[in-house]
Structure 1
Amino acid sequence: MNIEITKPAMAWFKEEFGQGEELTPIRLFGRYGGCGNLQSGFSIGISQTEPVNPKAIQEEGGFRFFIEEQDMWYFNHHSVKIKYSRKNEEIEFEYEESATS
């Protein structure tokens, strides 16, 4: 399970969440509703909260992106790539089945 963030997506996070002297934590989690395409009826939520029991972590550009163990059900053995859509002016998520979970 990997988390990848493109440069345009990183710029979006810096604009939306700012950047301090320490790593800014960004949690990815499955939430009910929205327009997700991995689990029917669910989508990815993001929040700025400290990790408690992270299963996947990616530190990059002053941010700590992570997925808690309790949220792994949503990703169902898939890695996630966070992109920015200039057309829609929002972040988007792509998934790829992981060789290992």
Structure 2
Amino acid sequence: MKLTMKIEITDSAKEWFENEVGLEKGSGIRFLGKVYGSTEVHEGFSVGMEVTQPAEVLAKTIIDGIIYFIDKNDEWFFSGYDLQVNYDKEREEPIYHFIEH
């Protein structure tokens, strides 16, 4: 079964990752489900992220040489949704939106 999940990174989120995380071309950001917190569609789980290189990719987008991706091991968390990553100016951190597809 081929999944058609998409990852969208807004311009303001891209700038945050580049400035705050110190990403350079060739870097990878993995989005994953983690215990604790909540999302628009999950109770008890939130979105985490880590700087790493992709292995088994479920979905990815590349912007300015930076790979934003979701690993196949996190399919349970993202299944049925596209992920939009934006930036919350008030909280000064990324904000994640799940868009049903």
Is 1:61 matched up with 2:64?
yes
Q: CA deviation at 1:45?
A: 0.5
Normalised TM-score (structure 1) = 0.89
The one-letter code matched in structure 1 to 2:90 is K
Normalised TM-score (structure 2) = 0.89
Q: CA deviation at 1:23?
A: 1.7
What is the percent sequence identity of the aligned residues?
A: 32
Query: Do the aligned partners of 1:10 and 1:61 also contact (CA within 8 Å) in 2?
Result: no
Q: CA deviation at 1:82?
A: 0.4
Task: Give the RMSD, CA atoms, in angstroms.
Answer: 1.2
Contiguous gaps of at least 5 residues in structure 1: none
Q: CA deviation at 1:52?
A: 1.2
Q: Which residue of 2 is the match for residue 16 of structure 1?
A: 20
Contiguous gaps of at least 5 residues in structure 2: none
Within a 5 Å distance, the mapping from 1:7-86 to structure 2 comes to 7-20=11-24, 22-86=25-89
Q: CA deviation at 1:61?
A: 2.4
Aligned residues: 97
Q: CA deviation at 1:29?
A: 0.5
